[in-house]
Structure 1
Amino acid sequence: MRLMIFGAGFSGLAIARALASDCDFAGGTTRSEERFAKLEAAGLAPLIYQGGIPDGDLRTHMSGITHLVMSIAPDAEGDPLLAAFSDGLKNHLPALEWAGYLSTVGVYGDHGGGWVDEETICKPVSKRSVARVEAEQCWQALADAADVPLAILRLSGIYGPGRNALRTLDAGKARRLIKPGQVFNRIHVADIGAATALLARGTLGGIFNVTDDLPAPPQDVVSHAAELMGVAPPPETDFETADLSPMARSFYGESKRVANAKIKAAGFRFAYPDYKEGLGVLWQEGTWKG
């Protein structure tokens, strides 16, 4: 396998680590040389990509890439990679055998706490999620035209080492916002890496929810983190009167429970099936600080 990860951030590095033993070559892009050391530590050859048609060393490596992961979120102008590859995937990646696109469960929109699965019609609410639906559709069209299987991984709220309720609580920034009926799913970053690896190894295409087994109110996660740390949880705050940025408030505009049976049917088993187990391991191993 020769792997390229466009956007080797938190999730991209976890994918690199999960596939390290499978790769003859693994490259990852970043916007700044300041992150080269992190990419190298995950087994990636670091490459600069700041948009547009890939050139230089990045373009040279792309000629032999067999497995592609796209982990760059759309910006105000859309998905930068879509524009770069609009003339055909195989024109840039002639050896490509499989592609994966990291999306979000936000594409489903608000379901009032009800269950959704991969067959649920997308009704995105936020501009971010509308852009994700458009990107999914465009990537699927490009993959179909190239006759390459595309796995679309719809991810829930991501946590892991250095990014979790324990660290937020320790920093004094945790809040227990109460909005009746509000529930979210979450996903440990290591499970994102492992799920992507499973799909890549099997060259499996389709849409997959990569999300845990326990949708829960966000305040419950903060309370559990406080219990693990042996500290008092922050006081409850009513969502309606809380002082929140428009971005923070928008995350509470959707409530749903996301099913994960399809990825399990593909053979995946979660290492961290719920936030209690995930946070517990982070605390016990001391890796919560990152």
Structure 2
Amino acid sequence: MDRVLLSIGHGYSARALARLLKPQGWRIIGTTRSAEKAGTLAAEGVEPLIWPGTEIGPALAQATHLLTSVSPDPEGDPVLRQAGTAIAAAAPRLSWAGYLSTTGVYGDHRGGWVDETTPLTPSTERGRRRVAAEEAWAAVPGLPLHVFRLAGIYGPGRSAFDRLRAGTARRIVKEGQVFSRIHVEDIAQVLAAAMARPDPGGVYNLADDDPAPPQDVIACAAELLGVPVPPEIPFETAELSPMAASFYSESKRVRNDRIKEALGVRLLYPDYRAGLAAILAAERAG
């Protein structure tokens, strides 16, 4: 049986998934907004679809699996707003659908642990939009929906190394602040595992085993690069933008037991030290 993934908003995480699925014989259709990115996707073996701008119905008619990585906006989920009718019509034919959400839906827990059963109490506008988007996707009749709540994403081209090299890395210290994070290749393997074991209605946290203060991650990356560790900057004097400051308004540790127990996932990079070391080793092997 042909397996066809329609990936809406085919970005960083979805591209990692495509790299995993393509050797297994999957056909991947990925949407993008720009002709330039369409060329990049085609070079990666993904069938590009410029959308909005092209009718998405034919791609939905061919898809066996659907993944959406598009963030909500102030008016709600833009994918459902523009293609909700077509998605609802295609829902009975789909074997699996996935929505990439965020652990921001849990809000602030002052460094405490959260899991998939924790009540959703977002404290930021971004988090509130995500809760509404999860609910909107869950309301599509007949859609075999799986929700993935992602911690901070890092990987090649998107890590503390890049900020250090660009001279933008800052070790901002806020008492008690911790973040969970997840390597992009672990996101890909969790999504692939969920596709192999469909459980409509399933919700999964994607995070590694080691929530940590952000300044520790930058220090580790600097040491691996052999460059000076940036000085600590107290949060109170950091002069962050409102967007950057909002990330520090929430502190929590995210449990990942469900992806291990329900999906049989063994993390490739169980902590940021392993993930950073692998990124650097791959760069140097080059």
TM range (shorter): over 0.9
Give how far 1:21 is off. Answer: 3.1
- Partner residue, 1:110: 108
TM-score by length of 1: 0.92
2:57, 2:86 within 8 Å by CA — same for their partners in 1? no
Partner Cα distance (2:270, 2:284) in 1: 18
Partner Cα distance (1:90, 1:76) in 2: 22
- Partner residue, 1:32: 34
Alignment of 1:190-205 (within 5 A): 190-205=185-200
Alignment of 1:1-290 (within 5 A): 1-50=3-52, 55=55, 58-87=56-85, 89-92=87-90, 95-142=93-140, 145-146=141-142, 148-205=143-200, 206-265=202-261, 266-286=263-283
2:16, 2:188 within 8 Å by CA — same for their partners in 1? yes
Residue by residue, what CA displacement relative to the aligned partner does 1:225-262 show, whole Å, maximum 9, x if unpaired? 01101111111101011111000000000000000000
- Describe the shift of the 1:288–1:172 C-alpha distance in structure 2 as closer, same or farther (beyond 3 A): farther
Partner Cα distance (2:57, 2:153) in 1: 30
Give how far 1:159 is off. Answer: 0.6
Partner Cα distance (1:186, 1:242) in 2: 22
- Describe the shift of the 1:36–1:88 C-alpha distance in structure 2 as closer, same or farther (beyond 3 A): closer
- Provide structure 2 residue ranges, at least 5 long, that are not aligned to the other structure: none
Give how far 1:287 is off. Answer: 6.9
* 2:223 aligned partner, one-letter code: E
- Describe the shift of the 1:43–1:202 C-alpha distance in structure 2 as closer, same or farther (beyond 3 A): farther
2:38, 2:50 within 8 Å by CA — same for their partners in 1? no
Partner Cα distance (2:127, 2:43) in 1: 32
* 1:255 aligned partner, one-letter code: S
Residue by residue, what CA displacement relative to the aligned partner does 1:175-211 show, whole Å, maximum 9, x if unpaired? 0001010000111111111111111122233100011
1:7, 1:28 within 8 Å by CA — same for their partners in 2? yes
Sequence identity percentage: 50
Partner Cα distance (1:149, 1:91) in 2: 13
Per the alignment, in what secondary structure is the counterpart of residue 4 of structure 1?
Answer: strand
1:162, 1:287 within 8 Å by CA — same for their partners in 2? no
Give how far 1:17 is off. Answer: 1.3
| Segment of structure 1 superposing worse, 226-235 or 89-98 | 89-98
| Segment of structure 1 superposing worse, 279-288 or 71-80 | 279-288
Residue by residue, what CA displacement relative to the aligned partner does 1:77-122 show, whole Å, maximum 9, x if unpaired? 2211122344473414552111000000000000000000000001
- Describe the shift of the 1:63–1:287 C-alpha distance in structure 2 as closer, same or farther (beyond 3 A): farther
* 1:35 aligned partner, one-letter code: K
TM-score by length of 2: 0.94
Per the alignment, in what secondary structure is the counterpart of residue 236 of structure 2?
Answer: helix
CA RMSD of aligned residues (A): 1.8
